[in-house]
């Protein structure tokens, strides 16, 4: 079966960032991904920005999927947003629960499964729906098995496939896939690949999202100190190797968290000879 590759962006906040992203997506589009996706800020904080970028990309003829969560929206405004995407010719959505933005303690989080049900109820089979999966298990999960069961529930509710949080342990992937199989999950799960551009930032971010950075990798990055070039090369090597192992192990494709830059995603892509 042909493998599927996709690239993720976040919506830039400034005009300079938006201009830069135009160049980035034009370059990455040359690699021929199946689609791009654009994230949605916690609590809907990037609502207009995400909608703007998604529609601009669609108008350029790119295949693009907005990420979506209920955030602060009620059902009426959520429906408006979804119908707006449908009318713009968007046919894929990454459906999420999202997280609470700081300072918005009272907002109720709506589970991704409920969003999948909502989209299916109002738009039938129009959208291909992606949901999130966690090979190292979501930080709020009651247990390993509970997280797998909730993943199955949102796929059974009508999602077509899942994209994972990034991870650097191939064992975590194998163990997770075994458990998904035992739970009867038969829809494709695409590993999320996070190229490493700034290890210190990645370490800070990983603490919050429950992704583990292996000790050997941390030690090696720390040993480079200010030697940015060696650190960059090591990052490319590690992520290329992981991607190779995932594809060899039968992963149906890869989803790259590009962080709105062309390299190192392109470098890893070229190393993999995709």
**Smaller CB separation from ligand FAD, 179 or 220:** 179
**Contact in structure between 173 and 182 (CB atoms under 8 Å):** no
Looking at beta carbons only, is 164 or 231 nearer to ligand FAD?
Answer: 164
- The C-alpha atoms of residue 97 and residue 141 are separated, in whole angstroms, by 13
Which amino acids are annotated catalytic? 8
Indicate the residue among 28 and 234 with the shorter CB distance to ligand FAD: 28
Residue with smaller CB distance to ligand FAD, 232 or 246: 246
Letter string b/e over residues 172-208, b meaning 16 or more CB atoms within 10 A of that residue's CB: bbeebbebbeeeebeebbbbbbbbbbebeebeeebee
Chain CA centroid to CA 261, Å:
15
Considering beta carbons, is residue 47 or 232 the nearer one to ligand FAD?
47
**60 half-sphere exposure, CB direction, 13 A CA radius:** 17
CB of 202 to ligand FAD, least distance (A): 15
Query: In Å, how far from its chain's centre is CA 241?
Result: 20
Stated as kind and residue range, the H or E segment containing 200 is helix 199-209
Helix (H, G, I), strand (E, B) or coil at 102: coil
Task: Select 65 or 262, whichever has its Cβ closest to ligand FAD.
Answer: 65
Classify each residue of 142-168 as buried b or exposed e, where b means 16 or more C-beta atoms within 10 Å of its C-beta.
eeeeebbebbbebbebbbebbbbbbbb
Do the Cβ atoms of 119 and 95 come closer than 8 Å?
A: yes
Question: What does the alpha-carbon distance between residue 29 and residue 23 come to, in Å, rounded to a whole number?
Answer: 10
* Burial group, residue 91, by CB count within 10 angstroms (0-12, 13-18, 19+): middle
By CB under 6 A, name the binding residues for ligand FAD. 39-40, 42, 67, 94, 96-99, 111-113, 132, 138, 140-141, 146-147, 150, 154, 163-165, 192
């Amino acid at each position: 079966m042909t493998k599927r590759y996709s690239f993720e962006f976040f919506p830039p906040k400034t005009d300079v960032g938006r201009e830069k992203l135009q160049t980035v997506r034009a370059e990455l589009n040359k690699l021929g991904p199946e689609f791009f996706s654009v994230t949605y800020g916690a609590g809907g904080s990037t609502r207009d920005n995400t909608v703007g970028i998604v529609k601009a990309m669609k108008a350029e003829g790119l295949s693009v999927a907005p990420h979506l969560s209920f955030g602060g929206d009620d059902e009426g405004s959520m429906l408006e947003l979804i119908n707006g995407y449908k009318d713009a010719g968007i046919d894929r959505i990454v459906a999420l629960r999202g997280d609470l933005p700081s300072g918005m303690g009272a907002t109720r989080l709506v589970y991704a499964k409920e969003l999948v049900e909502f989209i299916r109820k109002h738009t039938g089979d129009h959208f291909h729906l992606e949901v999130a999966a966690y090979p190292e298990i979501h930080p709020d999960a009651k247990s390993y098995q509970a997280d797998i069961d909730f993943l199955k529930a949102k796929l059974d509710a009508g999602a077509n496939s899942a994209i994972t949080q990034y991870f650097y342990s191939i064992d975590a992937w194998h163990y997770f896939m075994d458990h998904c199989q035992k739970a009867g999950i038969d829809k494709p799960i695409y590993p999320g690949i996070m190229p490493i551009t700034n290890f210190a930032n990645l370490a800070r971010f990983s603490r919050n999202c429950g992704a583990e950075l292996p000790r050997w990798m941390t030690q090696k990055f720390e040993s480079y100190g200010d030697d940015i070039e060696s650190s960059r090369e090591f990052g490319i090597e590690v992520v290329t190797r992981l991607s190779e192992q995932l594809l060899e192990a039968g992963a149906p494709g890869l989803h790259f968290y590009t962080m709105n830059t062309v390299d190192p995603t392109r470098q890893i892509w070229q190393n993999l000879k995709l």
